Amino acid sequence: MRSFPGPALAIVDRLRAAAEADPENAIAFQGSPGANSHRAATEARPEALPLPCFSFEDALEAVKDGRAGQAIIPIENSQHGRVADIHFLLPESGLSIVGEYFMPIHHALMGVGKGPYEAAYSHPQALGQSRLFLRKRGIVPLSYADTAGAAAFVSDKGDPTQAAIAPAIAAELYGLEIAETHVEDSPDNMTRFVVLANKPTFLTIPPESSAVTTFIFEVKNIPAALYKAMGGFATNGVNMTKLESYQQGATFSATMFYADIIGAPGDPAVDRALEECAFHSKELRILGTYEQGRPRGQR
């Protein structure tokens, strides 16, 4: 907790004290107060107590050791893709995905003055989402652990040539001036967050909604293994909305896949598809089944 920049510590301590008094009702997030994950936590779970954590691992660990009942983690962005390392962290955590939340993302450029700036600090995701904006102005992007933490760091540093890219509320929290708003390169910039808990949910899905099931699998190292593993979803009419590959370990002999499908175990079509996928895989593990946050394909 003490890894946060100085201007954020008083707010972190206050939020942590509230969470410690009612840990089951706390929701952990990565970043300093004012970060996009903080906003996502308060919007997705308005009744919960937000608990700031310095890293994704710290947020997941807070749930595992009982300091929080849930955690909310960004998993992918419409503009900049997968959040780094998240596909490794989720399976390793042993936690279950129990919900998802989609949040529009807007960034502001801020500093102790209104520029001109030589460099801007922010989380790598935010820097990637503002890449064209920064290049056009000749501002050097510098990575920081989170967006609001970058704002607190710039405030503490007091260098008028250094800026931060962060949510506008961070300027208010840390006494910075906003030079420009909406500095993200795309106006429809959107991040998908997942909510995690120690135990999976038992779903009662409203008639107008659907379930999403997230799982990982490693196909056998034989020709056409992936084609065969995917065949069950097509023949059973199960919609796969996400499929991403990633390497685990240094052998490069087989690939892990992260997938989302519409539906839940217990549905005969889903069960048949998962059974066929498992038959052609060395490993298949469900990470969670949860209510769909928004229909896929909706803008």
Task: Please give the backbone phi and psi of residue 106, each rounded to the nearest 5 degrees, phi first.
Answer: -130, 135
Q: Could you state, in order of their start, the residue ranges of all structural domains in the chain?
A: 7-103+192-197, 108-181, 211-291
Known catalytic membership, residue 193: yes
How many Å apart are CA 61 and CA 66, to the nearest integer?
A: 8
Rounded to whole angstroms, how far apart are CA atoms 96 and 158? 42
Alpha-carbon distance 246 to 43, whole Å? 31
Mean pLDDT calculated for residue range 178-192: 93
| Mean pLDDT computed over 239-264 | 84
Q: Cα 255–257–262 angle (5° rounding)?
A: 160
Q: What's residue 249's pLDDT?
A: 65
Give the residues across from 285 on adjacent strands: 216
Q: Residue 256 phi/psi, 5° resolution? A: -85, 150
Q: Could you tell me the CATH superfamily of domain 108-181?
A: Periplasmic binding protein-like II (3.40.190.10)
Residue type, 292: Q
For residue 1, is pLDDT > 50? no
Token pair in block for residue 17 = 């004290």
Q: CA-to-CA distance for 191 and 185, rounded, in angstroms?
A: 14
pLDDT category of residue 2 using cuts at 50, 70 and 90: low
Question: What pLDDT was estimated at residue 253?
Answer: 65
Rounded CA gap, 250 and 105, in Å?
A: 35
Cα–Cα distance measured from residue 275 to residue 229, given in angstroms and rounded to the nearest whole number:
9
Closest CA to 226 of 234, 172, 62, 213: 234
Residue 125: φ, ψ to 5°: -65, -45
Chain segment 252-266, per-residue pLDDT in tens = 666 889 999 999 999
Q: What is the mean pLDDT of residues 172-185?
A: 96
Q: How far apart are CA 121 and CA 153, in angstroms?
A: 9
256 vs 266: CA distance, rounded Å: 25
Which pLDDT score is estimated for 255? 81
Determine the 3-state secondary structure of 139 from DSSP.
coil
What is the pTM (predicted TM-score) of this model?
0.89
Question: CATH fold of 7-103+192-197, please?
Answer: D-Maltodextrin-Binding Protein; domain 2 (3.40.190)
Among 54, 56, 133, 193, the one annotated catalytic: 193
- Let me know: does 49 contact 19? Beta carbons within 8 Å: yes
- Superfamily of structural domain 211-291: ACT domain (3.30.70.260)
Contact, 141 vs 132, CB < 8 A?
Answer: no
Separation of alpha carbons 289 and 286, rounded Å? 8
The full DSSP string for 209-236 is --EEEEEEEEE-SSTTHHHHHHHHHHHT
Bigger pLDDT: 248 vs 115 = 115
Asked if the model's pLDDT at residue 172 lies above 60, the reply is yes
Do 108-181 and 211-291 come out as alike in CATH topology? no
Mean pLDDT taken over the chain: 91
- Rounded to the nearest angstrom, the gap between the alpha carbon of residue 237 and the centroid of all alpha carbons in its chain is 29
Q: Which is the catalytic residue, given 147, 191, 213, 214?
A: 191
* CA distances for 99 relative to 50, 116, 164, 216, 268, angstroms: 16, 42, 31, 17, 23
- Residues 88-103: what's their mean pLDDT? 92
- Please give the sequence-ordered ranges of beta strands (E in DSSP) within 154-201, or none if there are none: 162-166, 177-181, 190-197
